[in-house]
Structure 1
Amino acid sequence: MKFTPIAKISLIVALSLSAYRGFAQQIKLSAEIETALSKVDTTQFKADIAYLADDKLKGRAPGTEGFQMAVDYVVKRLKSMGVKPAGENGTWLQQVKFRRAFIQNGTLSLTGSNLSLKAGVDYVIMPNPYLPDVKLSGQLAFAGYGASEPELGYDDYAGLDVKGKIVLVTRGAPDKFSSSVSAHTMNATTILKAAADHGAVGVIICSVDSTSRLNSPRNGTYSVMNTDGSVAISRTYYSPQVKVLGLFNYTVFNSLLQQSGKIMQAVLAQIKGGQPNSFAINSSADIAYTSTYQDLISYNVVGKIEGSDPKLKNEYVVHSAHLDHLGIGKPVEGDSIYNGAHDNASGVASVLGIAKIYDGIKHKPKRSILTVLLTGEELGDLGSGYFASHPTVPVKSIVADVNTDMPTIIAPLLSVTALGAEHSSLATQVDQAAAYLNLSVEPDPEPKQARFTRSDQYSFVVNGIPALHIKYGSKTADGKNNLNDFVAKWRTKYYHKPQDDINGIFDFAAGKKYAQLNFLIGYLIAQDDARPTWNKGDIFKVK
């Protein structure tokens, strides 16, 4: 039997996965792809990071001249590698309208309680991006973690009537939840949605740490607005129904529990153990506040590498990375420009490296590839949230997202963890690609960091699109397998600091391997006749 070139490629990559992670059968690739993989150039990788993290870009904050310079640079690089524009109206860009909201004249008082509350100390009210003037009175109720996952055997709202009420919740999740499920359920957007679904009109997140101080949004909060003036994406607002998102400190929360005959430690232990303990509180809150706004325009950069199959080329695998960083901020050791070399110029360089690999492949995969360089990740995954829910291609045509955010290329890459892959069939492609590059696949080494929900792949997941984010594993060349310790020390000095520039610690060979791995994962997905699927009964599977 004679095979076409595309059929040959399909045949040699369609190999089975063994029963255990990390023991995938070795895939075989065509000579064309092997040659293209080798073309990822560490010198170019370094040059991309050096430009994007240069002081002249002033930290690439959305809406600034420096961010526009980054946009112009990546568009030029993508053009040079044969990528085509796939933004709005035949351009490279998708416009993202940010709204920065500030709180004005916020007051909160409690009835049925003798507490006298001080703004910014005892409570905080978050600004509202949609409703500039809010007045609200409502009975209080405690709703545990604010989680409603009956299919996982846990529902803080079971048997609790919160219609028209303000719910008090605490951040956390039952011990029985996996790290990614925990990160999802304690995400503010998930909490707000659950409250709205049960009829609540306000949410107040309560501190259980007597030593912590509340964080007031002095610099405002960000959302993305639709063209009709409604809210498209927000991490502090869900719907006009839930008019208030606030915070209570430990003292206020503890007092309200005591007033209801409850002991905080006992309540927290019960819900941590997986047994909801929700109840009405014999007190109500009167809340009033005003929000003011500043709007700014930024952009996602979207490119396309067209697939080869007449039908499947109308489906897309996304390779994403965020282009923005923190701009100019508080000086640290005399430097105020937050260059973001690792976070996330390195991730952008990886996507550019993937484009370079495709530029060297004449026989493209069946599905098309989108290169999406995102704005507003540092503002709360907002650019990705907007793209995933308002893509520049038909929304149902996106089959998967492979995201790269701060791959932390500071040591040889010997093992990886694929955040989110455990929820879908993408785990198969991860294992196959990792095995080809002699990388072992490990569970999340830092589950308490909630890394799964802290980067752009999460925006795709909550929109029903299987997605993952490759991060380093623990393996080290000396066999101590303690890379986490080295990363922790690195993070203390460099993460979200002006010191994260091109003069820091880099292993560009590790960057090359990240690009190769993410390319292979995306390529295998793009070549598979079947779309990726969520695991049966998975929390993220669209009902």
Structure 2
Amino acid sequence: MRNYKLYILLIFCLLASGTAFSQSIKVKPKVAKAIKKADSNAIKAHIDYLADDKLLGRKPGTPGYQMAVDYVIDQFKKTGVAPAGENNSYLQTVRLRQATTGPNASIAISSKDGKSETLNAENAVIYPNPAQPSVTIEAPLVFAGYGISAPDLNYDDYAGIDAKGKIVVVFRGAPEQFPNTIANYSMDLQNVLKNAAAHGAVGVIVAAPTDKAKLPNLDKGVYSVMTPNGKVGASRTYASEEIKLLANISYTTLQKLFTSNNLDLSKTQASIKSGKTASAALNATIRANYTSTYQDIESYNVVGKIEGSDPQLKDEYVVHSAHLDHVGVGTPINGDSIYNGAHDNASGVASLLEIAKIYHNLKAKPKRSVLLVMVTAEEMGLLGSAYFANYPTVPTDKMVANVNTDMPAIIAPLLSVVALGAQHSSLANQVAQASSYMGLTVENDPEPEQNRFIRSDQYSFVVQGVPALHIKYGNKTADGKNNLDETVKKWREVYYHKPQDNPDGIFDYNAGKKYAQLNFLIGYLVAQQPERPTWNKNDFFGTRAKK
């Protein structure tokens, strides 16, 4: 009986630690040997080059970004990675459009009694339109809560209101009962715009959530990707030609609208937060006039391929992605104005280059093919990955999974990981197996408030229906305090999106090597299995997957 109890206790401990017998895998000796050849010194060398001052922060469209592109291509050639871009090259052209609202933009609200108020810059800002240089629109208003339609979660802001031909007013947010990743998806502005268009709206106005919240500064414009035929190929602020207006208004302005309609704004906010919709027609009309000016530049995604070995499965692809860009030269901090982006995301690019080397040392290739995609314009709104996911250089339905690497924060030993997004699909199996093999614990996200699920390039693939994940650090620490998130928060205050994120910063290159090994193994296991990854049954994202 004592032995039986000891056996049960052992089983419980293994399950509690995130390691189960079903998760254990045997890695073939040749694969294990290739994995072991990953090199922390190579990780460092890649970061040192990509985050050097001479690349001037790798902003898309600059000579520094082109140097990064050339470096990646050179590394691909050295490790036998074949070109998989356009026209048998390593490149996919990404045409970025910087759109700016003209100086004479105006927006006015007319109430039902005929009174009109022109809103000033403190109360309203209009986003530029990347497809229409000049827009005039006049339409009635309707309040649509968060702008969410999720009947499978018993919530639909559009139920009971008519939005056709109207401008909808929304808050950015989601009901408090929504799980974190679903809330992130639901409040994504692109999805709010698409849902408004699906309900026949002609405009969207986002209201500030409090009277202290500031409106966004759009002086530098917003970016979109244009297709070769001049259409909008990817954007975070444009969904379709049906939506003629996207604007922000102050909380005070919305409060006036609610008061004039005998509605209680604070009670409305409390209602939708609790999951009870409170949409209503607003007896007012908005008239807006604005122009948009454009500056177009060319940038590139870099796409390489490791061809699979199975006659049928080699036409399917596991996609590893990392963003190659950073923000360039900006406001000086402590005398330095070059935003090198060593962690964000030279470290992620270095990880993919090391994955390429692991495959180079692995003579027997996996059954499926593997794409290594270094995307541009992540810092401009995930635009490079959105364009690739929308217009891939391989057949869209042949991309079976995405494993993304973005700023893994290699500042301490890697003892546990968070697999953002994996809980929604069968990819959780490969994460569990690979992590167990690597001696890593899989944890829940220690910082759900960071909204990282929709803030990195895996999200572009999720939107297109491709199961995807993003491996980040867990909380486990060598001293047993298990508070790595606190260390990372302090680190971010000094380094994140600052010139101080350079090769002289804090690095644990062995952790970088371990990230590369783990991500390689996750992708390799997916590439080897006979079945494609699948969304979990009735999963929120699976039901919304683009068919």
Which one is further off, 528-537 or 118-127? 118-127
Displacement of 1:21:
4.9
Whether 1:183 and 2:181 are equivalent positions in the alignment is no
Question: Separation in 2 of the partners of 1:54 and 1:357?
Answer: 25
2:395 matches 1:394: yes
Question: What are the residue-to-residue correspondences of 1:273-422 with 2, within 5 Å?
Answer: 273-422=274-423
User: What do residues 222-264 of structure 1 show as CA deviations (whole Å, max 9, x unaligned)?
Assistant: 0001111111111111111001111011111122122222222
For the pair 1:56 / 2:57, whether they are aligned, the reply is no
Match of 2:73 among 72, 75, 80: 75
Conserved? CA contact 1:49–1:341, under 8 Å:
yes
Q: Distance in 2 between matches of 1:371 and 1:25?
A: 26
| 1:539 has 2:540 as partner | yes
Task: Report deviation, 1:216.
Answer: 2.2
CA deviation string 1:395-453 (max 9, x = no partner): 11110000000000011111111111111110110111111111111111111111100
Partner in structure 2 of residue 92 of structure 1: 90
Cα distance in 1 for residues equivalent to 2:381 and 2:89: 25
What CA RMSD, in Å, does the superposition of the two structures yield over aligned residues? 1.4
Deviation for aligned residue 1:20: 9.3
Please give the secondary structure, in 1, of the residue aligned with 2:532: coil
Match for residue 30 of structure 1 among 7, 28, 47: 28
Correspondence for 2:486: 485
CA distance in 2, matches of 1:250, 1:504: 41
Match for residue 469 of structure 1?
Answer: 470
- The answer to whether the Cα contact below 8 Å between 2:108 and 2:119 also exists between their aligned partners in 1 is no
Of the structure 1 ranges 439-448 and 134-143, higher mean CA displacement relative to structure 2 is found in 439-448
- Aligned equivalent of 2:39, options 34, 38, 41: 41
Kept in 2, the 8 Å contact 1:464–1:540? The answer is yes
- 2:249 matched to 1:251? no
Distance in 2 (CA, whole Å) between partners of 1:454 and 1:468 is 12
Aligned to 2:10: none
Provide the C-alpha distance between the structure 2 equivalents of 1:339 and 1:253, rounded to a whole number of angstroms.
41
What code does the residue aligned with 2:178 have?
F
Which letter maps to 1:79? Answer: K
Offset from partner CA, 1:343-394 (integer Å, 9 cap, x none): 0000000000111111111111100000000001000000000101100011
Q: Which residue identity does 1:171 align to in structure 2?
A: R
Instruction: Tell whether 2:100 aligns with 1:102.
Output: yes
Deviation at 1:537, TM superposition (A): 1.3
Segment drifting more, 446-455 vs 190-199:
446-455
In 1, Cα distance between equivalents of 2:477 and 2:223: 39
SS in 2 for 1:405: coil
- Asked whether the 8 Å contact 1:117–1:123 carries over to 2, the reply is no
Deviation digits for residues 175-202 of structure 1 (CA, Å, limit 9, x no counterpart)? 1211111110100100000000000000
User: Structure 1 residues 60 and 530 mapped into 2: Cα distance closer, same or farther (>3 Å)?
Assistant: same
Q: Deviations over 1:128-155 (max 9, x none)?
A: 0001100001111110000011122111
Unaligned runs of 5+ in 2: 1-13
2:170 partner SS = strand
Q: Is the 8 A contact 1:137 1:285 kept in 2?
A: yes
The residue type paired with residue 42 of structure 2 is Q
Partner of 2:8: none
3-state SS in 2 of match to 1:192: helix
SS at match of 1:58: helix
Number of the residue aligned with 2:128: 127
* Mapped partners of 2:19, 2:505: distance in 1: 32
Match of 1:438 in 2: 439
Kept in 2: contact 1:115–1:252 (CA 8 A): no
Separation in 1, partners of 2:343, 2:167: 41
Query: Aligned with 2:105: secondary structure?
Result: strand
Is 2:457 aligned against 1:459?
no
1:287-309 CA-partner distances (Å, limit 9, x unpaired): 01000000000000000001110
**Is the 1:98–1:296 Cα contact (8 Å) retained in structure 2?**
yes
Secondary structure at 2:453 match in 1: helix
Q: Distance in 2 between matches of 1:41 and 1:118?
A: 58
Distance 1:471 1:482 in 2: 14
Q: Is the 8 A contact 2:93 2:301 kept in 1?
A: yes
1:59 partner letter = G
Aligned length: 527
Contact 2:435 2:442 in 1 (8 A): yes
Distance 1:373 1:28 in 2: 30
Distance 2:83 2:318 in 1: 15
How has the CA–CA distance of structure 1 residues 323 and 47 changed in structure 2, closer, same or farther, with 3 Å as cutoff? same
Q: 1:14 is matched with which residue?
A: none
Letter in 2 for 1:38: K
SS in 1 for 2:472: strand
Cα offset for 1:468? 0.4
Helix, strand or coil at the partner of 1:452 = coil
Mapped contact 1:226–1:232 kept (Cα < 8 A): yes
Could you tell me whether the CA contact under 8 Å between 1:120 and 1:216 is conserved in 2? Answer: no
Indicate the SS of the match to 1:453.
coil
Letter in 2 for 1:232: G
Counterpart residue type for residue 48 of structure 2: A
Mapped contact 1:319–1:402 kept (Cα < 8 A): yes
| Counterpart amino acid of residue 111 in structure 1 | S
| Cα distance in 2 for residues equivalent to 1:198 and 1:212 | 28
Could you tell me whether the CA contact under 8 Å between 1:18 and 1:25 is conserved in 2? no
2:150 counterpart residue number: 149
CA distance in 2, matches of 1:36, 1:291: 53
In terms of mean alpha carbon deviation, does 290-299 or 106-115 score higher?
A: 106-115
What is the rounded CA distance, in whole Å, between the counterparts of 1:440 and 1:217 in structure 2?
42
TM-score, scaled relative to structure 2: 0.94
Q: Following the alignment from structure 1 to structure 2, what is the Cα–Cα distance between the partners of residues 42 and 332?
A: 30
Structure 2 vs 1, CA of residues 19 and 499 (structure 1 numbering), >3 Å: closer, same or farther? closer
Cα distance change of structure 1 residues 20 and 54 upon mapping to structure 2, 3 Å threshold: closer
Please give the secondary structure, in 2, of the residue aligned with 1:365.
coil
Distance 1:294 1:361 in 2: 45
Q: Secondary structure at the match of 2:160?
A: coil
Provide the residue aligned with 2:4 in structure 1: none
For residue 112 of structure 1, what is the aligned residue in structure 2?
111
Query: Per-residue displacement from partner, 1:1-27 (whole Å, max 9, x unpaired)?
Result: xxxxxxxxxxxxxxxx98995435321
Change (3 A) 1:21 1:536: farther
Residue 8 of structure 1: aligned partner: none
The residue matched to 2:397 in structure 1 has which SS?
helix
Q: Secondary structure at the match of 2:488?
A: helix
Structure 1 residues 119 and 50: alpha-carbon distance in aligned structure 2, compared to 1, 3 A threshold: farther
